[in-house]
């Protein structure tokens, strides 16, 4: 009999234990779930704080344009612009130097070391009534001798000319020293502000540099140089001090 009492007690204790465990488990299941912790995207916040960079392209420089005028030649244009004629032809795909049209626009290439004839322009004196009647208006060429380097050395003697007036077509103009030495200008054009250097010695004509072709120096003290146009009219003279 005691055995059955012990067994009954054990059953009761086990049942109570099971009920207690089930009660605790039920309360845990009914409890509100804990919300997950928010994840902060640090890299996204840093990236959004950095201002975006807009790349601005540097605009291409506007090319310099020369418009061909009446009586212009390619050699004269290159001479005036201070660039080799070959580079001017290449930039404009010109194969025949004589194929120029009035009003044609030429692209002026940007040449490193480009020679731009510069000089302080000498103001033209105001023409009086007599000068006006003779046609001495502002459109007339005014080619003058601006500088003479009389060194006594054939390699360095030179004469700088500048046009302070209207367009001058230099073909058949002359430069002489009064002693029988005469230089005949080639066919080119000098516009207002255009200049050219005449070297007494020999060489190849290039932009802004022409060569007289003499074998000995001629520029010395007391020599008077004169420039005459194609009609033989005196345009300028310079006496070497």
Kindly report the average pLDDT of the chain as a whole number: 77
Q: State the burial class of residue 206 (Cβ atoms within 10 Å of its Cβ: 0-12, 13-18, 19+).
A: middle
Q: What CATH number has the domain bearing residue 152?
A: 2.60.40.1260
Residue 164 counted as domain residue: yes
- Answer whether residue 204 shows pLDDT above 90: no
172 in any annotated domain: yes
Does pTM top 0.85 for this prediction?
Answer: no
Whether residue 103 lies inside any domain: the answer is yes
Window from 3-7, 166-170, 230-234 with minimum mean pLDDT: 3-7
15 domain-assigned: no
Burial of 117 (0-12, 13-18, 19+ CB in 10 A): buried
- Residue 82 gets the label, from left (phi > 0), alpha (psi -120 to 50) or beta, of left
168 shares a domain with 78: no
> How many structural domains does the chain have?
2
Lowest mean pLDDT among 16-25, 118-127, 143-152, 185-194: 118-127
Burial zone of 159 (CB within 10 Å; 0-12 exposed, 13-18 middle, 19+ buried):
buried
Task: Decide which of 55, 74, 108 is a domain's last residue.
Answer: 108
Residue 179's domain comprises: 131-239
The tens digit of pLDDT for each residue in 176-197 reads 998 889 999 988 888 888 888 9
Residue 191 lies in a domain: yes
Q: Which residue has the higher pLDDT, 2 or 241?
A: 241
SS3 per residue for 90-156 = HHCCCCCCCCCCCCCEEEECCCCCCCCCCCCCCCCCCCCHHHHHCCCCCCCCCEEEEEEECCCCCCC
- % of the chain beyond a pLDDT of 70: 66
20-63: pLDDT as tens digits? 767 776 665 555 555 655 555 655 665 666 666 566 665 556 78
Whether residues 85 and 144 share a domain: the answer is no
Q: Is residue 16 part of a domain?
A: no
Q: What is the predicted pLDDT for the residue at 122?
A: 41
Residue 232 lies in a domain: yes
Q: Choose the final residue of a domain: 73, 108, 143.
A: 108
């Amino acid at each position: 009999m005691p055995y059955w009492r012990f067994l009954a007690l054990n059953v009761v204790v086990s049942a109570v234990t099971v009920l207690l465990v089930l009660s605790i488990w039920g309360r845990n299941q009914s409890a509100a779930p804990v919300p997950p912790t928010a994840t902060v995207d640090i890299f996204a916040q840093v990236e959004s704080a950095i201002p975006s960079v807009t790349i601005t392209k540097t605009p291409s420089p506007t090319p310099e344009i020369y418009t061909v005028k009446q009586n212009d030649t390619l050699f004269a244009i290159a001479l005036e612009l201070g660039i080799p004629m070959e580079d001017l032809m290449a930039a404009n795909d010109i194969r025949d130097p004589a194929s120029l049209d009035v009003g044609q626009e030429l692209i002026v290439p940007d040449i490193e070391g480009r020679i731009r004839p510069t000089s302080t322009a000498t103001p033209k004196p105001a023409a009086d009534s007599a000068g006006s009647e003779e046609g001495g208006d502002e459109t007339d060429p005014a080619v003058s001798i601006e500088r003479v380097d009389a060194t006594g050395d054939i390699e360095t003697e030179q004469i700088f000319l500048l046009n302070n007036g209207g367009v001058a077509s230099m073909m058949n103009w002359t430069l002489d020293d009064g002693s029988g030495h005469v230089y005949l200008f080639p066919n080119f054009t000098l516009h207002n502000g255009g200049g050219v250097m005449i070297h007494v010695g020999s060489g190849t004509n290039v932009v802004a540099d022409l060569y007289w072709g003499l074998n000995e120096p001629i520029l010395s003290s007391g020599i008077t140089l004169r420039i005459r146009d194609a009609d033989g009219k005196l345009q300028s003279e310079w006496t070497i001090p």
